[in-house]
Amino acid sequence: MQETVFHRTAIVFSVLLLASAAGFAQTFNGRFTGTVTDPSGAPVPSAEITVRQIETEITKKTRTNSSGVYDVPLLLSGTYEVKVDSAGMESMIRREVKLEVNATVTLDFTLKLSSVATVIDVTAEVPM
């Protein structure tokens, strides 16, 4: 009888322990990801991506990989500005991009060739 009570207690404890561990694994961060290409559709490697949260002014930077892909993880929910810069290309900015908790927002950019420094500012919202 005593072994049965101990066995049940051990099982209940194990289930509670596993359930609490699963709760800690949840994240409250979002991310921006996407691809940067040139007008012909070719990837733009090493383009600089700058992500700025409007409310806090916190800025994170990264670069695209050789396939033109970028990923900016571990961002708090809020409103962001995402800017892409690459040598010989026009810069592009997307403003007022909403990022929700646990969301992944994909923003693809097609940069235009430029002989002088130019910035294209896109103010439309991206649908979730």
Task: Please answer whether residues 23 and 17 qualify as being in contact, where contact means their C-beta atoms are separated by less than 8 angstroms.
Answer: no
Give the mean model confidence (pLDDT) for residues 110-116.
87
Contact 37, 75 (CB under 8 A): no
R_g of the chain, CA atoms, integer Å: 22
Give the lowest-confidence range in 13-17, 34-38, 113-117.
Answer: 13-17
State pTM to two decimals: 0.72
Per-residue CA distances from 19 to 22, 85, 100 (Å): 5, 45, 25
What pLDDT score was predicted for residue 9? 59
Rounded Cα distance, 99 and 102, in Å: 9
Hey, what amino acid is at 26? Q
CA neighbours within 13 Å on the CB side: how many for 34? 20
One-letter amino acid at 62 equals T
Which positions ≥6 away from 49 have C-beta within 8 Å? 32, 36, 61, 62, 63, 64, 70, 72, 82, 83, 84
Supply the mean pLDDT for the chain: 85
Q: What percent of the chain has pLDDT over 70?
A: 72
Say if residue 99's pLDDT is above 60.
yes
16-73 pLDDT, tens digit each: 545 554 455 566 899 999 999 999 999 999 999 999 999 999 999 999 999 999 999 9
